[in-house]
Homo-oligomer: A and B are copies of this chain.
């Protein structure tokens, strides 16, 4: 809240943040093929500065793609939908970067995979026993698919769908019998 004139270190840190955000948006828009130059342009900065801050494109990518939430003890099943953002209009920048890159970057794929496994494990605990593990994996994967369809493929049927409807529907799958 104190709006003192920023010190040099603060300004530096601020541009570092601006660069990271620019990177998330660029990776989110073009995947891991996004360019250091394009990131720099978006941040209003020289390309070289990007590397002085983050060392290499790879390192910056890793940071940009790190998932935002390690939310610990939340109630599981209904919340799930929100996590992978079935109902959010806009995805968090880092999530978007991660998803956009997950099919072309091994690192992003691995990150998404552990994220999904983690979520599925959580979900399985709260499910009827029968094939719980498999069914949890299916639900989690489905939510990912729906998220892709909505945010990256612009499927019209999902475009103007009510997030709550979607969440309720998906939630009902949680207790479906095989």
* Residues of chain A having any CB pair with chain B under 8 Å: 30-31, 33, 99-104, 109, 112-113, 116-117, 120, 131, 133-138, 140-150, 152-158, 161, 165-166, 168-170, 172-173, 176-178
Cβ-defined partner of A103 (8 Å) among B31, B116, B135, B154: B31
* B103 lies within 8 A of A102 (CB): yes
How many copies of this chain sit in the oligomeric assembly?
2
User: What CA separation (Å) do A145 and B150 show in the bound complex?
Assistant: 12
Check if B176 sits within 8 Å of A131, measured CB to CB. Answer: no
Chain B residues in 8 Å Cβ range of A117:
155-157
Other A-B contacts than A116-B155, A131-B165, A173-B176, 7 sampled, CB-CB below 8 A, are A31-B104, A109-B152, A131-B169, A133-B157, A138-B142, A138-B158, A172-B176
Say which residue of B100, B136, B147, B153 sits within 8 Å of A116 (CB atoms). B153
Docked complex Cα distance between A151 and B134 (Å): 15
With CB as the reference atom, state the residue of chain B lying closest to A115. Answer: B153
Residue contacts A-B, CB under 8 angstroms, 25 given: A33-B33, A99-B103, A100-B103, A102-B152, A103-B152, A109-B153, A112-B153, A116-B153, A116-B155, A131-B169, A133-B157, A134-B165, A134-B169, A135-B169, A137-B158, A137-B161, A138-B166, A138-B170, A141-B145, A141-B158, A144-B145, A144-B149, A145-B145, A148-B148, A173-B176
